[in-house]
Chain A
Amino acid sequence: MEARDNQAGHADNPTISSPAGLTPSPLAAALQREHPEWISEVIEALGETTIIVPREHIVAACAFLKIAPGFEFNFLADLCGFDRGPEEEPRFEVNYHLFSTINHRRVRLKVILSEDDIHVPTVSDIWRTANWHERETFDLFGVIFDGHPDLRRILLPDDWQGHALRKDFPLRGYEPYSLE
């Protein structure tokens, strides 16, 4: 495992720009007031709020959003990866879809990862449901969740080569598939 330097400083290097003329939602604004360093960018589109969080702050941000009064995003609805393509840099995204069972609001947190350093700290200590979602994202994208208690493949066989949902993985796989 290579040393994890701080190269994912996306705060200085935003890769997606917010559509002009849209103001951040009250939720994002409140988080911005409390912890501005956690927010690289806020995207408001199609009625959904996306907050891009630097990798080193994702655990703190999730732990805060889970219990902080006014946020209370106590339910991790979904966690999934996305591959922008082998020619893109940074290449990978991990999306956290948070939901509050108290005020029924939703928010999406996003961590952007580069291919050379595809590590992100686990949130399975915050929500136990993250366990399988992170295993799936590891299985299909190769994102390594540091500190995960049981980071094994979940959908594909243990001896599978490669990560099937990456854009450079062919649809029909590499044939012939062999169990040897």
Chain B
Amino acid sequence: MSGPWRAELGRVAAVAWKDLTAERRTRANANAVLFFAVLVLVLFGFAFGPDADALRVAAPGVLWLTVLFSGVLAFNRSYQVELENGAFDVLLLYPGDRRAIFLGKVVANLVFVLLIEALVVPLAALLYGLPLLAALPGLAAVVLLATLGLVTVGTFYGAMGEPRPGTGSPAAVAVVPHRDPAPRGGRRSDDRGPGGRPHG
């Protein structure tokens, strides 16, 4: 691998390491996102009532909605930490390609959202009566690909809506659900998954 590429990969790894280390220590994002995700799953479960069939049909959509909203919280936070103490200016002034910063954030967000999904998917299977183990190999591939798409687009919009300190990121909240095809694709793929039915 040539020198410049190695240096850029080093920057990608540095940004991802920095974000994940900070998150591991504070769990500021994880606590909020997990609480939110569990709340959404449980509330939708109540909304659909005790009908097991209705729950199974709704499960893929509810799952991706949960992941999507949880992701938006994570994407906002990933830029918010750069605004605390004015770190964003310093980050932008490092030499090298600025795409490394974006890719580093994508990697960190991907790891974070996958960890959230590792907890949320089994919980959804439990609450909505889905046969998780039977569908696991296919579901894992779908989740991985859809999450990669969601995180890439979400991190991009998170940067576009780069907020001022103490504010949210309205661009990510408003645009991701409409623009990001990953959850829609993921949800449709899930329809063939645990307990789902193809849409007419």
Whether both chains belong to one complex is answered with: no
